[in-house]
Amino acid sequence: MQVVTMLLGILCLLVVLLDAFQTIILPRRAAGRLRLTRIFYILTWMPWRFVAVRIRHPRKRETALSFYGPLSLIFLLVVWATGMVFGYSLIYYALGSPFSDTLQHTGYLSDLYVSGTNFFTLGLGDVTPHTQIARALSTCEAGTGFGFLAIVMGYFPVLYAAFSRREVSISLLDARAGSPPTAAELMRRHSFKGSEDVLAALLSEWERWSAELLESHISYTLLCYFRSQHTNQSWIGALTAMLDTSALLIAGVRGHEARQAQLTFAMARHAMVDLAQVFSITPKQNIPDRLPRERYEQLYQLLCQSGVSVCRDDLSYERLRDLRALYEGYAAALSEHLCMPLPPWIAEQPHKDNWLAVARVRNQAEAANPEPNTIAEIIEPHHEF
């Protein structure tokens, strides 16, 4: 019996330490379906989502969902600490509870108490080891607890730094593509003279953003549960909007920025697919069409009215549909799993934002002061008397 208890204690320690190492320290995707962290998120996210989605008020529902990410991090740390305390207590118990207790009560509860005080380095001194191996294990556990605390202190800044970098670009997208961001609005707001270079630079920025998202969220998967500041914003929505825009530029818009759109599309789709695989999610089939033919015609007319140079052949819709098939199934699956809605292609009821207010004032200024076409309009003509 003592051998079995010893093996269980050692196994418990190894499982917790390996899981913590893969989750915090290892800078790559953690492997294994039976990992403690993966099981923890499966067992906690499903009931949390089940309750939260039944809140009718949209803002309160989003608030409830936003609590899960930070709280899950705290409870995950509690699970790790509890597992290590429990593992060491089993080892002490297998050794015959080699401690002297001032209360004269020895047994498993005393071993559990000693394990807790050692791990959290309390050093109360009311229970002391009376064998060399017990002293060695107590010292080892105190070192484990101290190292765990140090790692946790360094873990939080890394997570929130990655979260902050992700959210800055999402916030900047609000003025460039609306809220929620849509491909139609992004193209419309970048239809001014010389916008090709600006749009290419924006796509290049989002290519890098997608790469950073892939690297950070695969290493720290729990960041996927961290939600944006505003209800209409999410990392899935922003990533899908940029994929929509890139696909539209590749399949149906003429211009040299389509070259950068290909690079952005490839990187963004890579991020979308790999993150879906992290959750073991398969792409959804037979999903509602986000851009049916009649909506595409509406999008086409909107782009033409905005001055965007669109392709006029009859196969542009089929090309766009083929590109959409490469990512929309994964996007829909992630959207359903994380309760983050996908953006439409065209905003049904555009929300008021700072860009619209500033653009309105600028249009009034341009209307009151039209730009002269020729120098003759600036210089008054000379009259001879």
> Read out DSSP for 9-61?
HHHHHHHHHHHHIIIII--SPPP-TT-HHHHHHHHHHHHHHHHHTT--SHHHH
Instruction: List the one residue out of 119, 112, 170, 164 whose CA is nearest residue 142.
Output: 119
pLDDT, position 129: 84
Strand partners, 101: 127
Tokens of 56: 């009718």
Residue 377 has a pLDDT of 40
Report the distance separating Cα 293 and Cα 298, nearest Å: 9
What pLDDT is attached to residue 359? 62
Identify whether the C-beta of residue 237 lies closer than 8 Å to the C-beta of residue 213. Answer: no
pLDDT computed for residue 375 by the predictor: 39
Give the pLDDT confidence score for residue 358 in this predicted structure.
67
- Which pLDDT value is given to residue 366? 65
- Which residues are 128's β-sheet partners? 100
pTM of the complete model: 0.85
**pLDDT by residue, tens only, the chain of 385 residues:** 788 999 999 999 999 999 988 888 877 777 666 789 999 999 999 999 999 999 999 889 999 999 999 999 999 999 999 999 999 999 999 988 888 777 766 788 888 888 998 898 887 777 888 888 988 999 899 999 889 888 888 888 889 999 999 999 999 998 899 888 999 999 988 887 777 888 999 999 999 999 999 999 998 999 999 999 888 899 999 999 999 999 999 988 877 677 899 999 999 999 999 999 989 899 998 899 999 999 998 998 888 888 887 877 778 889 999 999 999 999 999 999 999 999 999 987 655 566 566 666 766 676 777 765 543 443 344 443 3
Cis peptide before 181 (omega within 30 of 0): no
Q: Given this model, what pLDDT does residue 175 score?
A: 86
What is the predicted pLDDT for the residue at 364?
66
Burial 5-43 (b: 16+ CB within 10 A, else e): bbebbeebbebbbebbebbbeeeeebeeeebbbbebbee
Domain ranges of the chain: 2-130, 160-346+354-368
Question: Residue 272 has what pLDDT?
Answer: 96
Nearest to 347 by CA among 141, 146, 189, 120: 189
